[in-house]
Structure formats: C-alpha cells, structure tokens
Amino acid sequence: MASVLKVDKLDPQSGTALEIGTSGDTLNVPSGVTLDINAGATLDATGATVTGAIGKVLQVAQASISVSVSSASATFVTAGFTATFSSLSSTSSKVLCTLAGGRISYADAAVDPNKMSVTLYSSIDGATATDIMSSAPFSHTDLYSGGGGFSYSHAGCFLYSPSTTDSVAITPYYRAVNDLGTPFFNHASSGGEASDIPATVTLTLMEIGA
C-alpha cells in the first residue's frame, strides 16, 4: 500500500531548488484536483515536451508599416518590414503568418488593371531570404483604375514549417504581375481621408507548438 504524506508546504533543505521525483517517474494530478499557479510565478517548459490540450501558441512577433510602398518591378521586391523570432522552441514548431490591413491601390491610371502578387520570404539564422510560397503566392490582386478606382486591404494567413530552432525572419514581398502598372503594397497618402488616417499593414507571427 502506498504511503500518504500530509504536509502544508515543501521547501528545499538547502538552496532554492526543489526537485520532486526521479527521472522516469510519473507525477499524477488526480481528477478533480486544481493545480493553481499564482500570479507572478513562472512555469518554465523550455526544452520539455508538452502534450494534451494545453495551449500551443508559444510566442508571438509582429511588425507593421504605415507609409506608402509601391513598385513597378516584375520581380518580387521587399515591402520593407520584417517580423522576427530570435529562436524557435523545437524543429517541429510551425509558424502561423498573418498579413492584414493597409490600403492596396494603383499608381498607373494608364494601365487597367494594375496587377500585384504578394508572397512571403523567410531568412533562417540570417541566411539569404527565400520565397516560402513560390508555387502559390500569398495573394494576387487586380487593381482597376477606371472611374473612381478601387482599393483593398491585405487579408490572409499561411502555416510555415521552417524545421529549425534558429532565428526566423519573415518579410512580405510583392511585384507587378507581367509589368502591369505600378501597384501600391500600401497607399497611405493619396489625399483626402487616406492622408488624414494613414493605413497600417501588419504582419503577425505565432509559433505553434507541435
């Protein structure tokens, strides 16, 4: 029969570290028991394997721009902002990339429509950035300049598997498809309301634990 030890508090005999159990042991918290971690405490699971239905978002990074960015380049060019994780918790982690907001517009009224593709580039541990969506761009937009014209916002997400624990830097890139016009990745100063309320494009990264 297992012994029952009844105490109100456990403190280390010396120092400040308290170890419970030995490698290979299993510590069970029975059904109906609450494990209460007080405010201000730290639950450090660095290097550990977390299973079950515990929250899987391990860290979040964000970057944004609120200035006008446009290009007539037929090849992908940087949008000028990058969101970065200094490291990932595991090689099995995935990175959920979300791009949202801003004001996509056109700069060449003589071409109808201006066309723009957006993709995401990744640099791992400072290496040269490469397109992680080469077979299918993040988005493809036709920007019609007839009449009053049209503008749109970025909206989409992509689940990326970098397979590394090194730093990961994600940067939006864009291009004018087939040299059609001069699209704005973000158009924040075209006059009127757009000048008074600058549009912001935000890239958010979330590390998702396996």
Average pLDDT, integer, range 193-203: 73
Pairwise CA distance, residues 105 & 38, whole Å: 50
- pLDDT tens across 151-180, in order? 688 888 999 999 999 999 999 999 988 766
Q: How confident is the model over 107-130, as pLDDT tens digits?
A: 666 666 778 889 999 999 999 999
Residue type present at position 190: S
Q: What's the whole-number mean pLDDT along residues 82-93?
A: 95
Contact 172, 69 (CB under 8 A): no
Q: For the whole prediction, is pTM greater than 0.85?
A: no
pLDDT at 105: 79
The residue ranking higher by pLDDT, 45 or 185, is 185
| Structural domains of the chain in order of their starting residue, each with its CATH number | 57-208 (2.60.120.760)
